Amino acid sequence: AQTVTQSQPEMSVQEAETVTLSCTYDTSENNYYLFWYKQPPSRQMILVIRQEAYKQQNATENRFSVNFQKAAKSFSLKISDSQLGDTAMYFCAFRGYGQNFVFGPGTRLSVLP
Amino acid sequence: DVKVTQSSRYLVKRTGEKVFLECVQDMDHENMFWYRQDPGLGLRLIYFSYDVKMKEKGDIPEGYSVSREKKERFSLILESASTNQTSMYLCASSLSGDEAFFGQGTRLTVV
């Protein structure tokens, strides 16, 4: 069974600074998808970024980018120019052939003014 | 705009009651999911459905059942609510190989 680990339960960053959230996963599959979701205090889960495992190029979405290391089974999220609105829980998720999503335990990020 | 709607945002029920949590999506997605979210544990899969009338158990199905009579609606049923089922419940839907779209969550308290 796949597992997803996020080793940082809580993190904080100063506004305008850069922060990196870690995620590792365990799978024997070769083709899969990885996601980062954000859950602000409103509780609505929002997709931040996605990565297909067959793509070597790291995904980027504006201030958000990932460092995908397939061999190391690592998928970290970098947030540049952090904003107060980035304060949220961040979940790393894996989706393989079995169609289920497997989520990590989450990292609570606080952006400080 | 994509939409997944859960019937209640907050719910308080008594121990032993039968509880229905409803979820509706308007995106014609074949896959629908029910997750339970608890602090430090992330999202744990209760049940998922990949087609009408089809369902599969997730990681924590005990004490729950589901119903999917129509493609757009996926219901989670707590047959006899217990205090250890107090939690946040999230519904999601997706196409195969695509991202999940989530409802706004139902915070259920069982007293």
What are the tens digits of pLDDT across the range B10-29?
Answer: 999 999 999 999 999 999 99
Per-residue pLDDT at B16: 97
The reported pLDDT for the residue numbered A100 is 86
pLDDT above 70 coverage of chain A, percent: 99
Spatial separation of the C-alpha atoms in residues B52 and B30, rounded to whole Å: 8
Q: What is the pLDDT of residues B30-64, one digit of tens each?
A: 999 999 999 888 899 999 999 998 999 999 999 99
Cβ contact B92–A45 (<8 Å): yes
Q: In this predicted structure, which of A13-27, A79-93, B36-50 has the lowest mean pLDDT?
A: B36-50
Q: What are B61's two structure tokens?
A: 């199905």
Give yes or no for residue B97 having a pLDDT over 90.
no
Q: Which of residues 18-77 of B touch A (CB under 8 A)?
A: 31, 33, 35, 40-45, 48, 50, 58
Calculate mean pLDDT across residues A58-64.
96
Q: What whole-number distance in Å separates Cα of residue B47 and Cα of residue B37?
A: 13
Cross-chain CB nearest to B43 (options A9, A91, A99)? A91
E-state strands within A40-100: 46-52, 60-61, 64-69, 74-79, 88-95
Residue B10 backbone phi and psi in degrees, to 5: -135, 145
Q: How far apart are CA A81 and CA A104, in angstroms?
A: 25
Task: State the pLDDT at residue A98.
Answer: 62
